[in-house]
Amino acid sequence: QKEVEQDPGPLSVPEGAIVSLNCTYSNSAFQYFMWYRQYSRKGPELLMYTYSSGNKEDGRFTAQVDKSSKYISLFIRDSQPSDSATYLCAMTLGGADGLTFGKGTHLIIQP
Amino acid sequence: DAGITQSPRHKVTETGTPVTLRCHQTENHRYMYWYRQDPGHGLRLIHYSYGVKDTDKGEVSDGYSVSRSKTEDFLLTLESATSSQTSVYFCAISEPGQAGSGNTIYFGEGSWLTVV
């Protein structure tokens, strides 16, 4: 069964705060984990990509994967109003297999 | 810009009519996907293609068919549109990667379809 759980929010935080977004999943065969950002009426934009367990950092963004717990996280440091969007976690077995998405978390950064 | 063009971007059609959405890519990527996005359901895979003339069903394929006669084009057809197919449709592309690097998937800007 492919199932990904993600809190839809909305999550509202003040500008400059550290944001933590999370997903849990049930299929232990997932190998590749991604975070997408989606602005209103736009396509999802790839933010972070991680293979297997571990951490990956890119600027203000850090992605963590804990395969033993089937839990992935995205941290945003020094959050900005422009970070306000819906954040989608996604994962795949690899190869031609498509992505299985969480339902997305609506994030609001208050100026 | 991932080099993906979807057309039409917006369409209103009547129940029972056929509709074709087109996805065109300039990246020469091998894999192409069609997703739909609905409130409360998120993004769900309809069909995908792993090469010219090679396609397979996704999670929500009933009522949809696809064709891929060229690397750059992936067509999604609703044979007889129903109101339940009112949605936003996204095309995505990717290229096989090495083990450990996998394949990153990039999305188009979406096609808004309303079936009345």
Q: Is the separation of the CB atoms in B20 and B7 below 8 Å?
A: no
Region A6-19: what's the mean pLDDT?
96
A43 and B109 in contact by Cβ < 8 A? yes
Predicted local confidence at residue B13, as pLDDT:
97
Please say if the pLDDT value at position A39 is more than 70. yes
Q: Tokens in use for A93?
A: 């077995």
In sequence order, what are the residues at sequence separation of 6 or more whose Cβ sits closer than 8 angstroms to the Cβ of residue B111? B6, B7, B8, B9, B10, B11, B21, B88, B89, B90, B91
| Interface contact B109, partner A, CB < 8 A | yes
Region A2-22: what's the mean pLDDT?
93
* A97 → chain B, closest CA residue: B48
Residue A68 backbone dihedrals phi, psi, to 5 degrees: -65, -30
Burial class of residue B63, CB neighbours in 10 A (0-12, 13-18, 19+): middle
Chunked mean pLDDT (size 10), chain B, 116 residues: 90 97 94 94 93 94 97 97 98 73 82 98
Q: End-to-end CA distance of chain B, in Å?
A: 33
Q: Which residues of B touch A94 (CB under 8 A)?
A: 99, 102-103
| Interface contact B104, partner A, CB < 8 A | yes
Provide the shortest C-alpha distance from residue A80 to chain B (in Å): 23
